[in-house]
Amino acid sequence: MAKLNFGGTEENVVTRDEFPLNKARTTLQDETIAVIGYGVQGPGQALNLKDNGFNVIVGQRQNSPTWNKAVNDGWVPGETLFPIEEACKQGTIIQYLLSDAAQIAVWPTVKKHLTSGKALYFSHGFGITYKERTGIVPPTDVDVILVAPKGSGTSLRRMFLEDRGLNSSYAIFQDATGNAFDRVVALGIGVGSGYLFETTFKKEVYSDLTGERGTLMGAIAGIFEAQYEVLRANGHSPSEAFNETVEELTQSLMPLVAENGMDWMYANCSTTAQRGALDWKGKFKAATLPVFSELYKEVACGNEAQRSIDTNSQTDYREGLEKELKELRESEMWQAGQTVRGLRPERQAVEK
């Protein structure tokens, strides 16, 4: 394990140089990894593990769209694809990758197959951190571990196929066997992590829920809408408003930030852009800091978790979600976005 120092704060990290893939394979050579759920994280993690040479099976509800997706991805019913209960029975490591609401519903089935010495693996700290609300309380004689890729399962898979890695956090909630560290790190390397940084289940879920509602999705979507509406209200065309709000950010500026940081991006923009951005940055921070503080408090006290549990467990949740997404999809801004994306040179080249 290495240590990174950030201005006096040390963090424990594990890199692929310290824990290479061959060591990960050896660590888990006698394990059967049962990936339960084939929705958001399941496909990327399961396929990466399989391609990396681990013994993987998938557990999913039969005759569902995700079961059919697993079949289309090459998982064979009765050989590497099983109903959830059968996969839990066979697995020595159960990767619990269902949605948070589904984890609550399926927990009684999973728990009865968590026999002594097995490992229960999560990619989100929700179920364990809010166990009083979820009812997910593992037996004391199993390892309880977490690897949380910092991105979607789709990104995890794409980056793996490009010979790149997506950074992940790791945590150990319960080390019953004495081998939890080697197990969790081997799994983190196996699913395609770039490097692994240490956290706890609670810190993972607090940061994750804040990030999703904040800069990763909620805040950025709200800021997009606000700027687009101001530009449109002042007579700018949909194409101009979208390009100045979304397209330039995602296609030009964020890749520069990803390469070398925000200061480097500033240094590679015009002096007019630099000055204006630096002058206005403080105003946006002052405006949003109270919102982020409120958001974190709502996450920490469990209110956000309870809202998710209550809403996502409703039988008509999917119908309501589709209605909300349809409103987004059919809004003028994102209709403009669809048109703009279709005019990108690489898209046109593919179509030809």
Q: Given the residues 124, 157, 183, 213, select the one marked as catalytic.
A: 124
Is there a catalytic annotation at residue 113? no
Distance CA 334, CA 340 (A): 9
At 106, is the secondary structure helix, strand, or coil? helix
Of 195, 207, 204, 156, nearest in space to 12 by CA: 195
Tokens of 252: 């030009």
What is the enclosing helix (H) or strand (E) of 93? strand 93-96
Half-sphere exposure of 196 (CA within 13 A, CB side): 30
Distance CA 204, CA 124 (A): 7
Q: Which residue is listed with tokens 């015009």?
A: 270
Contact 195, 189 (CB under 8 A): no
Distance CA 15, CA 62 (A): 38
Catalytic residues, by residue number, are 124
